[in-house]
Every structure is written in C-alpha cells, then in structure tokens.
C-alpha cells in the first residue's frame, strides 16, 4: 500500500521511556495503518513523507520485514521547514471529566508573549540565532466528548478539537504548527509529537511544565531526543532531553541538524593538535574561535561533536554539570533524526578516550571565553573527494559515430583508510547507446584507475554540443561523491558540390544604365546568391537574377558574366559573357562562351 507517513514520539519522562510509533494513512481507503518492523525502523523517516510499504496485515497493522529489504520505500520525502516564521495555533480542550489546569492567558504568555522574554518563541529565537520564530494564537478551551480515562486516541481527540475550532470560524489552514493542549490522560506521557511534518502536530498533557512545549515543538521541527547510551532523555543540556528542568538551548549536533549555526563555525578535525572552542550560545560574529568541532567515528560511521556551554541567555538555567568544560556528543550527522548521545563533559585535566578508534581528547584549560583541548588521532581516516577526469574532454564527429572516453579516477583518502568503492553512473541523451567497461570500482587510498566509456550518438542527432556526465557515487559517504562532464559535438559532412552555372545571361543598354539578367542556377542543397562581374571585376553580390548597373561611362564597352554560390560558398562555373556598348549608339549585348571558374 502507499500513503502519507506519520511518525510520533510518545514522551514518558516519569518512566524514563520514549516510544516511537509509525502510521501510514491510505487516503484512497481513508484508513490509518501502523507498520510493525521486525528489525530497526527506517532511518530518517519523517512525518509527511509519501511511502510504499509491503507486508502482511490486518485492519490496523502491517507486519514488515527488517529494514534494508524492499518492504519499505520512500516515494517522496517530506518537505522541511526549519527557518522563518513558524505560524502556530495552540488549541486548548477539556475532557468531560477533567479540565486543563492552565488558564489560556498563561499558555499564551508561555508560547508567545511573556513580558520577561521567557517564552517558547524567545527560546527558539535565541537558540536559532533568529533563524526561526514562533507566532500565532491560543484558542479555546473547547469541550470534547471524551473522558480522561478513555483509551489513548490522539487522532480522534485532535479531530474533535479541530471540528470545534472550524465551527468557530478558525482557519486552521493558516498554520504550519498545531499544538493540542489537553489534561493528563491514559496516554501515560507528558506529551507527544510528530517528527517533522507541515503541518506538524504536537499534544501537550502537562501544561504546567514549560519545557514540554519546547520539547514537543522540537520534534515538530525534526529533532530527535537528547539522551545518553542507555536513556533516551538523560542529556538535560538540551530541551530535547528530560522536561521539567527549565527552558534551555539545544546541543551541538542538533544545532548542525537544524542548520542554525554558521557553517564556518563548525570545523571537522582530522589532524592532531590543540584547539580552542568558543561558547555555543554566542552569535558567530563575536565568537573568538569555532563553536562546534566534529571528529569522525569510523567504527560506527558517526561523529563526535565537541562543544562548550556557558550560562548565557536561556542557558543560565543549565546545570553546572554542563558548564565545567568540553561537552562531547555522538550522533549520526547528515540531518538524521536519531537520538543525540551525550558522552561526557570534562573538567580541566580530564581525558576522553575511544580505544576502538585510537582517539584521545584532553581538556587543558577553560574560562568564560573558551575551552582549550588537545586532540590525538593516530589512526584517523579522512575521506576526501576523488579526482576524476575525462579524456579527451571534448570530441567532434558525425551523427551515428562512436567515440571513446577514458574516465580516470584517483582515490584521495588518507593512508589510514580502507579501500573505497564507487558506483559509476552516466547521463547521456536518452536515445544514445553506450558501453561502460565497469560500473563498480574499488580503489586503495592514493591509487588510481581508469575505465573506458564508449558513447554513440543517434543517427538522427542534429548538429549541436551534447554534455556527457559521469557520476561517482559512494553509498556510505555522501562527501565522497564526484561528478565530471565531457562534450560530444555532432556535425554534418561538409558540402563540396557547387551550383550549376547561370544560363541565358543578357546585358541590355538603356538610357542611363545597363540591365543584366540571367536564368536561375540549381544546387544539391540551396543556391545562396550570385556574384556579377564586369570586365573581370566583381561589381555586385545579389540573391536576385537581375542587376541594374549605373556606374558607367558613355562610349565604353562592358563585358558581363555571373557566378552562382551556395551556403557552403561553393562557386559555380561562370555564365557565358555578354558584352554591350553604353551610350553613343550602343545597343543590345552579344554573348560568347563561358565556363570560367571563379
């Protein structure tokens, strides 16, 4: 079946448990199914994606094979919106037996209008460096015909709330973030939210805990949890960790995922050395050093993120455990919605070691302006883009010809890397045949290889320059990809056949001019025009078959002949010569043999 994907995070902070659930909405049947994966669910799945799922199912569930099979396919990725104004509507609703404990005005202040600039909008403006803002309204409370003791049915509750909002002439289509605030209930969580989506949808069941709002809206923006190795939430340096710890900013990996940090302030480390890191909270324009360092973790294809937090802005409420020095996180990178993993926050003189990757990080010193660390990477592998060339770069031949190109590839990875493999894909005009000597290559670091590529133009190809493109794709490392282009110029054979000679040329003297006329020539392609000669000197070029000559002297005799030419400038033999005397008794012309080639 195919349908729109919805990914939900259920946040049970009290029991240290977060649950991620997937739903596919089949709009043709207007039914909602819950896929059940036998292995790990697909990485990077976000609400709003259009997907195809295959498996065995019933009226509510589809049981699918493990990730990596053909049981799950993304047909169209969800659109993302992590910058600009996030237009948000907060819909407050009461159950039959229980009401929301927070006044609507208090929720309005928390979301948008706090006079001390401590709103959710203020938090996200600060942590995004004004890349996003939340604007909107709070409406309600509405009353829905459900009880807090009913089974957890967030979809039915949301539908009932929206129906009442629309009956009150509220245009929900104006908003790309929807937040439903309800009393505590059988769902057993503080809140839950879609991962991404436009609109995203978030449910709040503890209106008295401000960072629940920030946490669930963070899910709506596409962020996963901030935890440690064994706990989904135990990184409280980030609002995507446990709630009920006050509003605070997000960690380094989430900053990169959202694209809110200046890319120049994020530096990948691949050599040993001593490095300074400026506080993550600062605007990049006043930071004295990079604010986020990244080190590749080769054994898991992830990254270590190194950052430094200080009690600035909303981070004044941050626990002192995170303010002592270097914070180290682990994350997949590349925009992944997976959990960020806090590894440690160091004190001066402390060391973090990864024995598997022979990595060592030591904190040397810190003050309010920066932290200084020493990084040791004895066995680091740095993956670099390969060098690719196509020879020859440009060739010309007739339509239907086969031309040969050599694709030369050099692996620029560092010596500590393992061999790298690429798939070779090509892009040429759709009706042109080709032969590639290999479409999969494996090269050791520092080595090179060549493959041959033969491309034939179509017999019907018109004269033009055609781009031929080779793409090297490394499925494991997107920064390893490379594209190179060459040209194939199609030309038609040159025209070497001249037109026929003009015939019937006559020259007739009139009172003030001589009129010269002739019969048309023929050509295998087309006659472009005629060159007219007088006394062996060209006097005119014309596309016509007559010419009026007025630059004459009375009593003089003039001999005329014409030569035809085609678009390739091939010249015909000359016409017969026609002579005439102008004025003082001159009259009609006389002709004599031609055949002279000009």
Beta strand residue intervals within 462-566, DSSP E: 464-473, 482-490, 503-509, 514-519, 527-534, 537-542, 546-549, 557-566
pLDDT at 486 over 70: yes
φ/ψ (deg, to 5) at 467: -85, 135
420-476 pLDDT tens trace: 899 999 999 999 999 999 999 999 999 999 999 999 999 988 888 899 999 999 877
Q: Is 317 helix (H, G, I), strand (E, B) or coil?
A: helix
Show the tokens assigned to 130.
Answer: 């004004």
Alpha-carbon 252 to chain mean position? 22
101-127 pLDDT tens trace: 999 999 999 999 999 999 999 999 999
CA-to-CA distance for 338 and 352, rounded, in angstroms? 23
pLDDT band of residue 68 (cuts 50, 70, 90) is very low
Cβ–Cβ under 8 Å, residues 453 and 426: yes
Please give the residue that has the higher pLDDT: either 263 or 372: 372
pLDDT at 592 over 70: no
pLDDT band of residue 585 (cuts 50, 70, 90) is low
Show the tokens assigned to 375.
Answer: 């990084």
> What's the pLDDT at 411?
93
> What's the pLDDT at 217?
96
Domains contained in the chain, CATH given: 2-76 (no CATH), 84-222 (3.40.390), 252-376 (no CATH), 387-490 (2.60.40.10), 503-592 (2.60.40.10)
The number of beta carbons lying within 10 Å of the beta carbon of residue 6 is 23
> What's the pLDDT at 103?
96
The per-residue DSSP string of 209-275 comes to -HHHHHHHHHHHHT---EE-SS-SS--TTSTTS-SSS------HHHHHHHT-S-GGGEEE--S-EEE
290-316 pLDDT tens trace: 999 999 898 888 999 999 999 999 999
pLDDT at 595 over 90: no
Average model confidence (pLDDT) across the chain: 87
> What's the pLDDT at 567?
80
Residues linked to residue 327 through DSSP beta bridges, in sequence order: 307, 345
Q: Give me the mean pLDDT over the 513-531 stretch.
A: 93
φ/ψ (deg, to 5) at 249: -75, -175
């Amino acid at each position: 079946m195919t349908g729109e994907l919805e990914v939900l995070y259920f946040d049970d902070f009290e029991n240290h448990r977060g649950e991620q659930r997937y739903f596919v909405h089949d709009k043709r049947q207007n039914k909602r199914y819950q896929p059940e994966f036998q292995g790990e669910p697909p990485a990077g799945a976000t609400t709003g994606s259009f997907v195809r799922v295959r498996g065995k199912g019933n009226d509510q569930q589809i049981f699918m094979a493990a990730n990596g099979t053909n049981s799950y396919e993304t047909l169209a990725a969800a659109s993302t919106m992590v910058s600009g104004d996030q237009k948000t509507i907060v819909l407050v609703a009461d159950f039959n037996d229980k009401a929301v404990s927070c006044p609507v005005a208090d929720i309005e202040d928390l979301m948008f209008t706090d006079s001390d600039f401590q709103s959710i909008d203020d938090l996200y403006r600060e942590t995004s460096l004004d890349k996003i803002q939340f604007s909107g309204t709070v409406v309600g409370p509405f009353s829905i015909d459900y009880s807090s003791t009913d089974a957890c049915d967030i979809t039915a509750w949301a539908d009932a709330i929206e129906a009442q909002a629309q009956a009150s002439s509220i245009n929900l289509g104006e908003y790309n973030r929807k937040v439903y605030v309800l009393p505590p209930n059988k769902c057993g969580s503080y809140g839950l939210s879609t991962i991404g989506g436009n609109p995203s949808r978030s449910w709040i069941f503890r209106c008295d805990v401000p960072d629940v709002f920030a946490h669930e809206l963070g899910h709506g923006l596409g962020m996963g949890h901030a935890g440690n190795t064994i706990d989904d939430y135990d990184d409280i340096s980030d609002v995507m960790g446990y709630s009920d710890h006050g509003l605070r900013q997000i960690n380094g990996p989430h900053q990169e995922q959202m694209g809110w940090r200046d890319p120049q302030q994020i530096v990948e480390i691949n050599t040993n050395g001593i490095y300074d890191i400026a506080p993550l909270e600062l605007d990049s324009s006043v930071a004295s050093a990079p604010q986020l360092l990244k080190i590749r973790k080769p054994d898991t294809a992830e990254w270590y993120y190194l950052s430094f937090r200080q009690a600035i802005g909303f981070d004044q409420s941050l626990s002192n455990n995170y303010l002592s020095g270097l914070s180290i996180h682990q994350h997949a990178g590349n925009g992944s919605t997976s959990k960020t993993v806090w590894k440690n926050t160091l004190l001066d003189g402390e060391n973090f070691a990864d024995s598997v990757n022979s990595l060592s990080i030591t904190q040397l010193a810190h003050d309010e302006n920066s932290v200084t660390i020493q990084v040791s990477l004895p066995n680091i592998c740095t993956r670099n883009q390969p060098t690719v060339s196509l020879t020859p770069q440009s060739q010309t031949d007739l339509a239907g010809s086969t031309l040969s190109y050599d694709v030369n590839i050099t692996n620029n990875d560092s010596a500590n890397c393992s061999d790298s493999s690429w798939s070779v894909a090509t892009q040429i005009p759709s009706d042109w045949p080709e032969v590639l000597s290999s479409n999969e290559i494996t090269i050791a670091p520092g080595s090179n290889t060549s493959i041959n590529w033969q491309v034939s133009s179509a017999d019907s190809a018109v004269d033009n320059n055609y781009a031929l493109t080779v793409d090297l794709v490394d499925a494991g490392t997107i920064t390893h990809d490379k594209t190179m282009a060459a040209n194939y110029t199609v030309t038609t054979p040159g025209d070497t056949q001249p037109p026929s000679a003009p015939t019937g040329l006559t020259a007739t003297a009139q009172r003030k001019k001589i009129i010269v006329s002739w019969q048309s020539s023929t050509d295998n392609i087309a006659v472009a025009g005629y060159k007219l000669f007088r006394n062996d000197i060209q006097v005119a070029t014309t596309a016509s078959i007559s010419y009026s000559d007025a630059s004459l002297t009375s009593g003089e005799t003039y001999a005329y002949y014409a030569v035809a030419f085609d678009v390739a400038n091939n010249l015909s033999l000359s016409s017969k010569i026609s002579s005439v005397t102008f004025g003082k008794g001159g009259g009609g012309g006389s002709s004599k043999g031609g055949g002279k080639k000009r």
